[in-house]
A and B are shown apart, each in its own frame.
Chain A
Amino acid sequence: MDHQAAQEQFMAYLDGRLSPPGRATLEQHLSTCPGCQRDLSSLRDTDTWLARSIGAAASQAEAPRDAWDRFAVRLGEASQANNFQRNRGHRSMQRTVKRNPLMGMMAGFAAAAIVLIGVGIAAVVLLSGRQQTPGEVAEVNATSTLPGAAPGVTLTEPGTLSPEEQYMTARPQSGGGSGQPDGSSGEGLPPVWQGTVQSIDPAAGTITLGLDGQVARIMPFTQIRVDDITWDGAIGSVEDIHPGDRVQVDLLDVEPSPPFANIIWVARPVDVFYESMAYEKNGGTITSLDPATGIFTVDVWGDRQFRYDAATRMLIDDDTLDGTPIGPESLQIGQMLSFVALTDQGEPNPVVLIMVEIFSEADAATLYKGTITAIDGNVITAAEAASPTNVYTLDLGPAGSQGISFAVGDVIYFRGYHDPASGTFVTRDVIKLGTGEWVRVTAP
């Protein structure tokens, strides 16, 4: 093997993708070629540096919070164009909207998006004491800025306007027009506001939402319904949301009483840990922690926040992975965590296993998901889910017999590293999807 042929194999070698004979040939060349050894070492260092540096840099890049608002404007303009086209005799677009039980409740209200916008705006219309047309951005004059509000955010006083008053005021502005027969808004887009729960006042029965780019709203508990983004139709309660939660709010008419309600879709863990995402985004840093409540937030690569919630049947294990769940009292701000999210779409509640571990981002990225294709004693062969042609040999060693029952077809998560010296994949730990069983094979 000459230098050029050797160097062409370097990337495959570093990624453990060379066949055993190919690996042996390259290693034989490396053993006699200091130049190629240096180049390979240099390439490995660069690979590591890039993984760490770009990963860290990318975690800082965040899409603007109002990105959806801007997109919604674009959709609205297109909707108007479509309506114009339709009025000129073009065939209207028919859509079949599959609705879950929750969405079905909306069917009785055929009021289109304009109604919904009207509901949201009517409250501030009366407070400001001036007339306003639907869609116009409201400016609130007769409100006060409350402590704790974000800069530039003005909070409306609670109790100034009853939900019914808001509703009745908004109703005429809608024109009463019906959208699609199924109650969807047709071409119009239901307004979905993004925001953060600023505070909850159980005594007053109100929740304060800081809506991005909008005035904050104080809503009575009776005016909202809470659901997560699983769209499973299971309605939660106000107890499911907490200050600091990122939420989106659909201003929707919902039957039965009260005559209307705002749906608050709470960005819950299941939203973060879709199974398909579990092995893509499995690292995060604890950014806040409240020992009194046990609630902590984890910034998942700067992408989303995850909140500890016992209702998600979440298990926390420390780096010993001894199978004994630990409590959030063991957590510290700044800790990096690795996640394994065992979410089964067929289950009503996802099981989320969190392994608490001080991690480098490069390490966190080496978690794989795969399916067991063969078992020979304590040696498992697994095909990577993302790339089934990538086959890993996981030697569990003596630990493999410690009560773990793996079978062909099991979906597993596993972690380890490619050892260039031996040309093997050194297995670190294996977790069996669905049960949370795990086995630690080698020390980090």
Chain B
Amino acid sequence: MEVITRSQAGDKAAFAGLFEQYKNLVYKTAYLMLGDAQDAEDALQDVFWQVYRSLESYDPARGAFTTWLHRLTVNHCLNRQRRGAPPSTHDEPRSGAGSPEHLVELDDTVQFLLQELSEKHRAVVVLRYVWDLSYEEIAEILDIPLGTVQSRLHTALKSVRQRLEAGGA
């Protein structure tokens, strides 16, 4: 994709286009992984900062850009949770965060069920059901065997089912 090539060459206007084109890919995943809009916004900034600093090392021959971006995003979210980041303390919306679409909260049931899953299972579910990725793509992003993708998905579905049947959601 030319915008990537141009960004790699240092064209910052192109990078601005890249940011706009893919910001929701990062934001949606982070939102569902972290369960908080402000944390997702922080993740969006941090992930693209990482993209900006390491874009020159991205090699299209080694995989799709979206796969790479998914990997950066998920790993960022997993690392944040593993570091035991405290719950969001953002009380006031940041500048511009008050746009109507930003105030739309995810469906409570979906968010509750996702946050009940372990982070590893949540990652598989998000990649599968938000982005409709194949098992192979999920395996590549998470760097886990294909069978592990399948087993995590199965476990996650059973967990969700139990919650739904128990009326816990």
Residues of A whose CB lies within 8 Å of any CB of B are 7-8, 10-12, 15, 17, 42-43, 45-47, 49-51, 53-58, 60-72, 74-75, 95-99, 103, 184-185, 189-190, 192, 194, 212-213, 229-231, 248, 250, 265, 271, 274, 276, 280, 302-303, 345, 365, 384, 386-387, 389-390
Contacts and interface: CB of A to CB of B under 8 A. Distances in A.
Contact of B161 (A8, A43, A230, A276): A43
A302 B100 CA distance: 13
Contacts of A60: 101, 104-107
A55 B129 contact: yes
A104 B27 CA distance: 34
A190 B154 contact: no
B13 to A, nearest CB: 5
A190 B44 contact: no
6 contacts: A8-B154, A11-B154, A46-B160, A62-B27, A67-B19, A184-B11
A64 B97 contact: yes
Given A75-B12, A229-B17, A57 B110 contact: yes
Interface stretch (B71-79, B84-92, B132-140): B132-140
Interface string B94-127: 1111010110111101110010000000000110
A97 B10 contact: yes
A212 B104 contact: no
Given A71-B45, A231-B3, A58 B28 contact: yes
Interface string B1-37: 1110110011111101101110110111001100001
B112 to A, nearest CB: 11
B28 A61 contact: yes
A46 B157 contact: yes
A71 B164 CA distance: 40
Contacts of B134: 384, 386-387, 390
Nearest to B160: A46
B79 to A, nearest CB: 19
B136 A47 contact: no
Contacts of B125: 50, 54
Given A43-B158, A50-B125, A190 B13 contact: yes
Contacts of A8: 151, 154
Nearest to A63: B27
A71 B46 CA distance: 9
Contacts of A248: 16-17, 20
A183 to B, nearest CB: 12
A283 to B, nearest CB: 10
B139 to A, nearest CB: 10
A189 B96 contact: no
B150 interface: yes
Nearest to A180: B10
Given A194-B20, A231-B6, A387-B134, 12 more contacts: A11-B153, A50-B157, A53-B109, A57-B110, A62-B102, A66-B97, A68-B23, A71-B45, A71-B48, A184-B10, A189-B12, A271-B21
B58 interface: no
B5 to A, nearest CB: 7
A17 B154 CA distance: 14
A198 B31 CA distance: 30
Which of B14, B32, B95, B129 has most A Cβ within 10 Å? B129
Contacts of B19: 67-68, 71
B38 to A, nearest CB: 10
A62 B101 contact: yes
Contact of B96 (A62, A98, A185, A212): A212
A68 B45 contact: no
A65 B96 contact: yes
Given A63-B24, A68-B23, A96-B9, A74 B49 contact: yes
A17 B37 CA distance: 36
Contacts of B12: 75, 184-185, 189-190
A86 to B, nearest CB: 15
B123 to A, nearest CB: 13
B164 A49 contact: yes
A276 B1 contact: yes
Nearest to B31: A61
